[in-house]
Amino acid sequence: MGGLDNFLFSFFNLKVMATYLPQIAQGLGLTVLLALLIVVSGLALGLLLALLRSLAIRPLNWLIIFTVDLFRALPPLVIIVLLFFGLPAAGLSISGFAATWLSLTLVLAAFAEEIFWAGITAVPKGQWEAARSTGLGFAQTLGHVVLPQALRITIPPLTNRTIAITKGTALASVVGVSEILGAAQSAMSFSANPSPLTLGAIAYLILFIPVVALGRWIETRFAWKR
Amino acid sequence: MENFVFAFLNADIVREAWPILWQGFLYTLALSAITVPLGLAGGVLLALLATSGPRAVRLAAAGWTDLFRAIPPLVLLVFLYAGLPFAGIDTGAWGAVAIGFFLNTGAYYGEVLRAGIESVPRGQMEAARSTGLSRGQALAHVVLPQAVRNVLPDLVSNTLEVVKLTSIASVVALPELLFQARQAQNATYNATPIVAAAVAYFLLLWPLVRVISRLENKALAGR
- Where do the structural domains in chain A lie, given as residue ranges? 3-222
pLDDT for residue B94: 94
User: What average pLDDT does this structure show over B176-180?
Assistant: 95
User: Which amino acid is it at A114?
Assistant: E
Q: pTM score, two decimals? A: 0.90
ipTM: 0.90
Confidence of residue B110 (pLDDT cuts 50, 70, 90): very high
With an 8 Å Cβ cutoff, are B66 and A81 in contact? no
Half-sphere exposure of B121 (CA within 13 A, CB side): 5
| Chain B partners within 8 Å of A75 (Cβ) | 164-167, 178, 201
pLDDT tens-digit series, residues B53-109: 899 999 999 999 989 988 999 999 999 999 999 888 899 999 999 999 999 999 999
- Map out the domains of chain B with their CATH numbers: 2-221 (1.10.3720.10)
Taking the C-alpha atoms of residue B133 and residue B127, their distance in angstroms, rounded to an integer, is 9
Taking the C-alpha atoms of residue B41 and residue A116, their distance in angstroms, rounded to an integer, is 32
With a CB cutoff of 8 Å and minimum separation 6, the contacts of B108 are: B39, B43, B69, B158, B161
> Is residue A1 predicted with pLDDT exceeding 60?
no
CATH fourth-level superfamily of A3-222 = MetI-like (1.10.3720.10)
pLDDT tens-digit series, residues B138-155: 999 999 999 999 999 899
Q: How far is CA B216 from CA A105, A224, B120, B209, in A?
A: 21, 13, 19, 10
In this complex, the residue of B79, B166, B198 whose CB is nearest that of residue A201 is B79
pLDDT for residue A11: 87
Question: Quick check: A181 contacting B, CB < 8 Å?
Answer: yes
User: What average pLDDT does this structure show over B15-22?
Assistant: 92
In this complex, the residue of B74, B167, B191 whose CB is nearest that of residue A78 is B167
B:11-50 residues touching chain A, CB 8 A cutoff: none
> Is residue A220 predicted with pLDDT exceeding 80?
no
pLDDT tens-digit series, residues A98-155: 999 999 999 999 999 999 998 898 888 899 899 999 999 999 999 999 999 888 888 8
| Chain A partners within 8 Å of B7 (Cβ) | 86, 89-90
